[in-house]
Amino acid sequence: MDRIIDLHTHTFFSDGALVPAEHLRRVEVMGYEAIAITDHADSSNLDFIIPRIVQAAKDLNPVSTTRLIAGIELTHVPPALYGKLTARARELGAEIVVAHGETPVEPVAPGTNRAALEAGVDLLAHPGFITEEDAALAAERGILLELSGRGGHSLTNGHVVKIAEKTGAMLAVNADAHTPSDFLSPEMAKKVALGAGLSEGRYRQLREDMQVLVRKITG
C-alpha cells in the first residue's frame, strides 16, 4: 500500500478538532509516512503555535512510525508582511512554511501568491487561478503548488495542473484536514490528482517531489 505524505493539516491550535497526539495517531493507523501540522497563523499567534507544535514533534516522533513535521500556514497575511513572517516562522522552528494562497472561495488579498513565493515558503496552498508567471517562479524556487482535497479550495485544481504542466512547477496533494474524516486515504489522494488531470506518471512524480521535500526538511 502507498504511504501518504500530507503537508497541510490543522489541529485545535487553529480551527481543527484534534490535539496533535490524536491527530498523529489517527494517520499513523492509516499508514501515513509523514504529516505536517500547519495551523493558521498571522503575526498575532505565530509565536504561540509554532513552539507547541515543535514540542509535540519532539515528544511524539520517537514513539511514532509516522513522522510529524512542525509547520505553520500563514493565513490572510497582507502581502507586504510575507517576507518578515516567513523568516520569523523559521526562527521559531517551523520546518515547513505554508502560504494560504488565493483560493477562489475566500477574499485573499490579490498579490498573496506572488508575495509568498518571493518570501520563499515551501508550499503554496490552494493557489486558485495562479498565473503562469507565478507558477514559473514556484518552479524556479522549488516551491510546491497544492492540489487540495478540501471542498471549495479544490475547485481550481484543474487550472493548477494545467499551469504546472506548462511551467514545470512541482505539485503536492494535501487534505487540508481539520477533522478525522478529512484525512485522505491513498486511493482518495490519487483520485484528487487524477481528477485534476494528472497522468499516472505525473502522479508518481508528484509523490516523489513530496518525498524529496520531506527528506530535505527532516535531514
Cβ(21)–Cβ(49) below 8 Å:
no
**Domain boundaries, position 61:** 5-218
Q: How many residues does the chain have?
A: 219
Count: domains in the chain: 1
What does each of the 219 residues of the chain score in pLDDT, given as a tens digit? 579 999 999 999 999 999 999 999 999 999 999 999 999 999 999 999 999 999 999 999 999 999 999 999 999 999 999 999 999 999 999 999 999 999 999 999 999 999 999 999 999 999 999 999 999 999 999 999 999 999 999 999 999 999 999 999 999 999 999 999 999 999 999 999 999 999 999 999 999 999 999 999 887
CB contact set of 103 (below 8 Å; sequence gap of 6+): 125, 126, 127, 128, 152, 153, 156
CATH number (domain holding residue 170): 3.20.20.140
